[in-house]
Structure 1
Amino acid sequence: MKRVFLMASSKQDPVILATCKQTRFHLAEGKGSGEIDIQGLDIQIASRSSQGQDAEASGTGKSKARKKDKSGSGLEILNGATLRLKAGVHYGLVGRNGTGKSTLLRAMADRLIPGLPESVGIAILQQTDIDVDPLTLVTRNAAALEVGEVLAKKEPRTVLQQVVQSDKARNEITRKLKILSQALEGHEDSLAPVKAIRHLRHEARQHELFLAQKNASLRSGARGLQARKDLKMAESKVEESAVCLEEDLTALDNSKIQEETQAAVELLADVEAQFESINVLDLDQEARKVLLGLGFKEADLDQPFFSLSGGWRMRCMLAGALIQSADIMILDEPTNFLDMLGVIWLETYLTRMRELSDKTVVVVSHDREFLNNICEEIIILKDKTLTYFKGNVSAYEQDQESQKLYWGRMKEAQERQVAHMENTIKTNTKIGKKTGDDNKLRMAKSRQKKLDDRMGVEVSASGGRFKLSRDRAGWHDSLRAEIEVPADEKGVSIYIPDAPDLRFPGPLLSLEGVAFQYKRGGAVVLKSIDLVMHMGDRVGILGLNGCGKSTLLKLFVGSEEPTQGKISRHPRLKLGYYSQHSVEELQELGQSAPAETGLSLLCKETEGVLEEGEVRGLLSSLGLPGRTASDVPVCQLSGGQLVRLALARILWQMPHILVLDEITTHLDFHTVLALAAALSSYNGALLLVSHDRYLVRKVIEGKQNLDDDDGAELEAKTHDEGDESKRRDVVVLKAGRLQLQEDGVDQFEASLQKRVRKMIA
């Protein structure tokens, strides 16, 4: 077992501890194939104090004690897992919130996992603080992280420059080129080239020391002895270069100055050759193409990067990851800030990448359709281990259902067989003892032996007949493995209470000829909007970012007044509005009141209408049970938990219509499925704005089986036959007008795919 630590930025920050099985065959240098196969991978999140104690134990050589205490030293993410990535394959990583998906990706990108080849470059997009310079976040290559980690942070950069400079290898070459050029071109200071060459040599030797330390910690035996010798040599070289940096350069003689100046000239020539080998023009063109595909306009590319909003900065970071020449690209929720056009463009881009290159891609996303369209294999993070399935998410779920059915039937059949055998054994034993029939007793004993030793799995892994010497070789407590039926995962809990009766009929909301503009004489955002909502209606609004969807919802809820037209509301209407900024509002509230919990907040807002028990029940029905609601401050809740709390703030009034604007942004894959099921059974009206195609198809169009289009259409029609008045419309907001999509999401998706093909061609 070998381990690597992630050093935290402060004493209070947690660290990631990664260990795995290693052999000398993993350590061949210069032979990286772009594939990863790491056995026995353990990952924990531990405190700094635990790290120090563990390091101290490592120094005393008490490996057994470390192994014994390891399970209690921190939060365990993986235990004995196998991390296997094949070159050129696109993987989808799925798992519930809190299982450690982002921690695993971080450990890969920061090279905390022993056995990751140095020659394999890794680019990553993480959902981190968008105010941090993406240069330190987007890519982690084989170069030492401490060398030139932050380059010109204070220097203002345009959007295009920011994306282009995300290339770590190019940045390092550019940095060295700048240092050497300025030193050699400066005529005032003759010692500048000496300072520059000594500084760069010291950095190079620090990187060599970093690699030597890593090799010495991994190797053993004769190779380990040589690695420790190399480590001592690297340490002495770093000490020597450190002394050179502190040396008084004015005391150098002219011959030494000329010698080191010549070394600087030669290094500059090498760096210039490396820079010329990089086709900067192609990189700029690729960055421009990617930015335009992600929704930027040509004029936006010259805007300052730090003037952008958080969502557009994340798009820049995504573009920076896409243009990397890395062997492995990791994308953590890349669709969060994209509209449907951007999502479809990214799907097409990744699909073409799979055809044209052998780059490995690992994606985490809550967008089911996106994962289905781009992933060839699924990695399931569950029960602290990694399992693999060849196929997309829908195929995996179908396989799980068939496996449950198959093994369930086998177990039921075997239970019936066991019951029959036990009854036969009991009967034969009774008759044999009563009549003295030894044959009956031998038969009972034989059947008992079969019952004890030969019950269990009766088929091999390939589906053939079970053979003990082949399928279960070695010593075991029983000769056959016990039949295990795959258990359903503990479901994500979301329940939406039904809307109360209105007492007298009528439309909930009615928009007649509504138009809107923010400033008199300014651009008209909405034109001639006509829309009527009754109880049970389902309307999904699609459209590109900036087309006015959120503005239309503000007119619905009354936070804006129309410039023209009329909006009528039922006199007893209760409306629940989830805005796309609801989570951010709760985060700000949590920061201003650090002690506020979800339970205390909702008790205040209900103003005694609901008792504490009823508030607890509501929060629990939305997935915030017990102490999560009463003890965890709002400022410490995750994004998905904040979405649930925001829903509770509008559902306690039992609204007749729900207006939801991008509700899936902070939810994980499984929670989106639970939300779709809850919304589908809601009896009130629903107005939904979302870029999630699965959610719109499931909730608005009413499709039950989205993996079978014919069956889905049939079930949707059957579902609506009982209530012809229920309306299920998908509309697109374009040029300020609502356009009905007769074929639903499929029609809008087809138009966007046609547009993307023109963009990429």
Structure 2
Amino acid sequence: MASESVATIQVSCKQTRFHIEASPNYRELDIEGLNITVAAPPSQAGTAATTAKGKAKKTKGEGLELLSNAKLRLKAGQRYALVGRNGSGKSTLLKAISEKLIPGIPEATRVSILQQTDADRDGGDGDAPPTAAGAQQGSSSSSSAASVPPSASALEYVVERATSKNELERDISALSSGVNECASAHGALRALRKLKHDRLQKRLRRSLPRSHCAFFFFFSLSKSTSPSRARSKKHILPPLHPTRSINQADDDIAPEALQAETQEAVDMLAELQLQVEPARLAEVEARARKMLAGLGFKPEMLEKPFSSLSGGWRMRASLAACLLHDTDILILDEPTNFLDLLGIVWLQRYLGSLEEGGETAAGITEPPTLILVSHDRDFISLCTDVLVVKDKQLTYHHGDLASYESSTAERRVHLRRVKEAKDKQKAHMQDTIARNLREGRRGGDDARVRQAKSRQRKLDERWGVEVSAKGTRFKLNRDMVGWFDSKREDVEVPPEDRAVVVVLPDPPELRFPGALISLEGASFRYRGAQKKQQVQLPLVLQDVTLSVGMGDRVGIVGLNGSGKSTLIKLLVEDHRPTSGTAARHPRLRLGYYSQHAVQELQALGLAEPELTALSLMLRETGAGDHPEPGSNGSGGDAAVKMSEGEVRALLGSLGLPGRLASDVAVRRLSGGQLVRLGLARILWRRPQCLVLDEPTTHLDYETVSALREALRRWAGAVVLVSHDRWFVRGVVQGAAALEPGEDGGDGGGPGGGRRGRER
């Protein structure tokens, strides 16, 4: 399959009169007038423009506007939880920050990012690790990853990604050969210029939209262009020496330039050698071992080749490398994916300890500014501030997510009351003015008429908010700068967000009672790789007894490798127990959501590029009792076929409405939308029991809340595997786990009579 064009991120912001490169603190950002637009690829520009006709979405040119005149403000050392609904632009904003596409970010700012990438969607390796861009200035994630040998162990991979050791050694080798060259006195100069040329070329490729300065540096080095000529084309070229050409003849090099650049090469060589000295690398390796152990690596796993690790363990290694970077801004996008509870708790404590200075490759430094994206509400409680992407704006709140939701609701109620009181007062004043006008005109009292008209003008011009945004007395020159139709702002009540609702179909009643799924003394061990292997592998599960009845809630928690997935496969009959029994209700319809459901849908989308969510569901629902291979459901009763309208209603109830279901290809859906499609594939059969393995991955926090509430109220049985502690508490414990301010409903959930168990 041919590679497709990639959408372009267009970024602009308000120009500042200060020189951003001279900023003493690169951990702070204060950017006003930020606009971010995702433009369609050039090959699809015409199609996008035609398709956009008649749509209500506001676009800018041929792209989708994500942020409009927003303000990006990050304070040094603060921990920000970036929240927003799927599709609001969180990932695009993180990419713009990490790649320094925003003109207000200094080039010297070191940004380290752990970002989840859908390798399968691009036709890459399904076990490819997530992107972990280096924090070193002048290096990129691709060049950093390419410098890691294919046979490198997990420990070597982390150390290399944190220190760029191989890249530094190549630079040292190039400079050493130039400095020690005896045949020519210009060897050090040429090695230095070649090294600068390569670094500028990487800088240009990494951030082309804002690399005009690097472009003209590179142009002058490679094309023998004088600085004055380059400056005449673009007035952004910093002062240079008279000539910077790599191929400049020896006779044309001034003795002063030769001496200065030779000394610069010697100083740079000494600095690079200091970075790779054995004592420093040993210290970094010790920290890497400690960090990998906290993330769940056993000592023998550290020496395994990185390429042999699964996707989850690669993600942990990339996370460790990202945390070891000496960085100004640390960005973590869903770092808890593939982590067990101990790993999540360790990471939460580690990030919390960064306030006092974290352990990085450079030693104890000032804490970086942290931007964290996670659907785990308990995990993001470590953040000091909440950064909300909503309505193309960035909203800030000092506190955790629960306090933000509470304060937003309280402010909405307060403004609604103020508006109602103002409206009543205004109606009373208008009635008084109208009465005075009538009586004045009837009695010929001109003074009364003039007084009424004067009050009407004041009412039109000065009616509105009487206090500033800070609660102080309103001042026109300070609080309303610019052009306005009146001298006061109206009291505007922010509209309530359209609630995310997840609707689960009611399970059909069983003809006779009994346990839905039961295990009695079940034990399980995997078979050896060879059929004639005599050595028995150890038991993964031993003497497990479990019974799941209608309305039960069972939460399965544990460390990675403890047998959670094996237990799930016994429950769904993918495996048979080595000893003991596993039974199922003969009329049971079981819905199983696998933790690999998103990857399966991505592979299906790549195999069938034109496949949409609606066409996939119509194909599977029309199969009756014989679902297509790959469908994640099973049933004892005959599954009922569904009409297209019913399929659309089901997809819409899960957040895939209208054209999103019928026009957008599966390969184009986001991770959260693929989770919704995976749930639809098991819910259309109306199962009595749901077995869900990590269903919250890729979902935004509002959808996670809606799914938790839907499962809490659902009448069927739920067996849940998740590392999201807040989600598990709400589903398993029900109303007893609701936090202050949450709606407990009518007690119809498991906390109101159904059994909740945590295993």
Displacement after TM superposition at 1:578 (Å) = 0.5
Moved more, 164-173 or 225-234: 225-234
Does structure 1 residue 616 correspond to structure 2 residue 625? no
Give the secondary-structure state (helix, strand or coil) at the position aligned to 2:559. coil
Does structure 1 residue 78 correspond to structure 2 residue 62? no
Correspondence for 1:101: 90
Name the CA distance, whole Å, in 2 between partners of 1:313 and 1:287.
Answer: 14
Moved more, 313-322 or 198-207: 198-207
Correspondence for 1:547: 562
Correspondence for 2:537: 522
User: In the TM superposition, what whole-angstrom CA distance separates every residue of 1:699-758 from its partner, at most 9, and x where no partner exists?
Assistant: 2111477443xx88x96996679954x101122xxxxxxxxxxxxxxxxxxxxxxxxxxx
Structure 1 portions without partners, runs of 5+: 1-8, 54-68, 248-256, 732-761
Name the CA distance, whole Å, in 2 between partners of 1:51 and 1:592.
Answer: 21
Give the secondary-structure state (helix, strand or coil) at the position aligned to 2:580. strand
Name the CA distance, whole Å, in 2 between partners of 1:414 and 1:258.
Answer: 77
Aligned amino acid, residue 204 of structure 1: K
Does structure 1 residue 601 correspond to structure 2 residue 616? yes
Give the secondary-structure state (helix, strand or coil) at the position aligned to 1:565. strand
Q: Is the 8 A contact 1:497 1:654 kept in 2?
A: yes
Does structure 1 residue 362 correspond to structure 2 residue 362? no
Does structure 1 residue 21 correspond to structure 2 residue 14? yes
Pairs within 5 Å for 1:702-741: 702-703=734-735, 706-708=738-740, 724=753, 726-731=754-759
Aligned amino acid, residue 376 of structure 2: D
Displacement after TM superposition at 1:206 (Å) = 5.6
| Match for residue 726 of structure 2 among 694, 707, 710 | 694
| Match for residue 237 of structure 2 among 231, 242, 266 | 231
Moved more, 23-32 or 403-412: 23-32
Against the structure 1 CA distance between its residues 196 and 717, is the aligned structure 2 distance closer, same or farther, given a 3 Å change threshold? farther
Does structure 1 residue 291 correspond to structure 2 residue 284? no
Pairs within 5 Å for 1:401-440: 401-438=409-446
Aligned amino acid, residue 522 of structure 1: L
Pairs within 5 Å for 1:435-474: 435-438=443-446, 441-442=449-450, 444-468=452-476, 470-472=478-480
Displacement after TM superposition at 1:183 (Å) = 7.9
Against the structure 1 CA distance between its residues 604 and 470, is the aligned structure 2 distance closer, same or farther, given a 3 Å change threshold? closer
Displacement after TM superposition at 1:216 (Å) = 10
| Match for residue 389 of structure 2 among 381, 386, 391 | 381
Correspondence for 2:344: 343
Does structure 1 residue 589 correspond to structure 2 residue 604? yes
Name the CA distance, whole Å, in 2 between partners of 1:438 and 1:232.
Answer: 72
Aligned amino acid, residue 669 of structure 1: Y
Name the CA distance, whole Å, in 2 between partners of 1:320 and 1:267.
Answer: 25
Q: Is the 8 A contact 1:704 1:716 kept in 2?
A: no
Displacement after TM superposition at 1:97 (Å) = 1.5
Aligned amino acid, residue 137 of structure 2: A
Name the CA distance, whole Å, in 2 between partners of 1:167 and 1:616.
Answer: 48
User: In the TM superposition, what whole-angstrom CA distance separates every residue of 1:293-330 from its partner, at most 9, and x where no partner exists?
Assistant: 11111110111111111111111111111001111111
Q: Is the 8 A contact 1:514 1:526 kept in 2?
A: yes
Q: Is the 8 A contact 1:94 1:380 kept in 2?
A: yes
Name the CA distance, whole Å, in 2 between partners of 1:495 and 1:619.
Answer: 10
Name the CA distance, whole Å, in 1 between partners of 2:142 and 2:693.
Answer: 44
Displacement after TM superposition at 1:115 (Å) = 2.7
Against the structure 1 CA distance between its residues 191 and 146, is the aligned structure 2 distance closer, same or farther, given a 3 Å change threshold? farther
Q: Is the 8 A contact 1:180 1:193 kept in 2?
A: no
Name the CA distance, whole Å, in 2 between partners of 1:262 and 1:234.
Answer: 17
Give the secondary-structure state (helix, strand or coil) at the position aligned to 2:108. coil
Name the CA distance, whole Å, in 1 between partners of 2:421 and 2:399.
Answer: 30
Correspondence for 2:673: 641
The two structures have a TM-score, normalised by structure 1, of: 0.81
Correspondence for 2:323: 322
Correspondence for 2:224: none
Correspondence for 1:397: 405
Give the secondary-structure state (helix, strand or coil) at the position aligned to 2:645. helix
Displacement after TM superposition at 1:538 (Å) = 1.2
Give the secondary-structure state (helix, strand or coil) at the position aligned to 2:486. coil
Against the structure 1 CA distance between its residues 514 and 472, is the aligned structure 2 distance closer, same or farther, given a 3 Å change threshold? same
| Match for residue 159 of structure 2 among 146, 160, 164 | 164
Displacement after TM superposition at 1:432 (Å) = 3.6
Give the secondary-structure state (helix, strand or coil) at the position aligned to 1:279. helix
The two structures have a TM-score, normalised by structure 2, of: 0.81
Name the CA distance, whole Å, in 2 between partners of 1:70 and 1:232.
Answer: 37
Correspondence for 2:500: 492
User: In the TM superposition, what whole-angstrom CA distance separates every residue of 1:192-212 from its partner, at most 9, and x where no partner exists?
Assistant: 998786354223146469699
Name the CA distance, whole Å, in 2 between partners of 1:435 and 1:110.
Answer: 75
User: In the TM superposition, what whole-angstrom CA distance separates every residue of 1:652-693 from its partner, at most 9, and x where no partner exists?
Assistant: 110111110001112122221221122122111111110011
Aligned amino acid, residue 327 of structure 1: D
Displacement after TM superposition at 1:117 (Å) = 2.3
Name the CA distance, whole Å, in 2 between partners of 1:704 and 1:265.
Answer: 68
Aligned amino acid, residue 565 of structure 1: G
Q: Is the 8 A contact 1:193 1:264 kept in 2?
A: no
User: In the TM superposition, what whole-angstrom CA distance separates every residue of 1:487-541 from its partner, at most 9, and x where no partner exists?
Assistant: 1222334211111111332222222222222238321111222222222111111
Does structure 1 residue 513 correspond to structure 2 residue 524? no
Does structure 1 residue 651 correspond to structure 2 residue 683? yes
Against the structure 1 CA distance between its residues 236 and 311, is the aligned structure 2 distance closer, same or farther, given a 3 Å change threshold? farther
Q: Is the 8 A contact 2:386 2:398 kept in 1?
A: yes
Correspondence for 1:38: 31
Displacement after TM superposition at 1:388 (Å) = 1.2
Does structure 1 residue 305 correspond to structure 2 residue 312? no
Against the structure 1 CA distance between its residues 723 and 310, is the aligned structure 2 distance closer, same or farther, given a 3 Å change threshold? closer
Name the CA distance, whole Å, in 1 between partners of 2:163 and 2:433.
Answer: 73
User: In the TM superposition, what whole-angstrom CA distance separates every residue of 1:78-98 from its partner, at most 9, and x where no partner exists?
Assistant: 222222111111111111122
Aligned amino acid, residue 487 of structure 2: L
**Once superposed, what is the RMSD of the aligned Cα atoms?**
3.9
Give the secondary-structure state (helix, strand or coil) at the position aligned to 2:734. coil
Name the CA distance, whole Å, in 1 between partners of 2:694 and 2:553.
Answer: 16
Moved more, 134-143 or 353-362: 134-143
Give the secondary-structure state (helix, strand or coil) at the position aligned to 1:424. helix
Query: Comparing both structures, which one devotes a greater share of its residues to helix?
Result: 1
| Match for residue 535 of structure 1 among 541, 550, 572 | 550
Aligned amino acid, residue 241 of structure 1: I
The percent of aligned pairs where both chains have the same amino acid is 47
User: In the TM superposition, what whole-angstrom CA distance separates every residue of 1:630-672 from its partner, at most 9, and x where no partner exists?
Assistant: 1222222211111111111111110111110001112122221
Correspondence for 1:681: 713
Q: Is the 8 A contact 1:140 1:168 kept in 2?
A: no
Correspondence for 1:333: 334
Moved more, 635-644 or 265-274: 265-274
Name the CA distance, whole Å, in 2 between partners of 1:581 and 1:52.
Answer: 34
Correspondence for 1:126: 115
| Match for residue 102 of structure 2 among 113, 120, 123 | 113
How many residue pairs are counted as aligned between the two chains? 685
Give the secondary-structure state (helix, strand or coil) at the position aligned to 2:237. helix
Aligned amino acid, residue 515 of structure 2: P
Aligned amino acid, residue 299 of structure 1: E
Against the structure 1 CA distance between its residues 472 and 617, is the aligned structure 2 distance closer, same or farther, given a 3 Å change threshold? same
Displacement after TM superposition at 1:339 (Å) = 1.2
Give the secondary-structure state (helix, strand or coil) at the position aligned to 1:338. coil
Displacement after TM superposition at 1:243 (Å) = 5.5
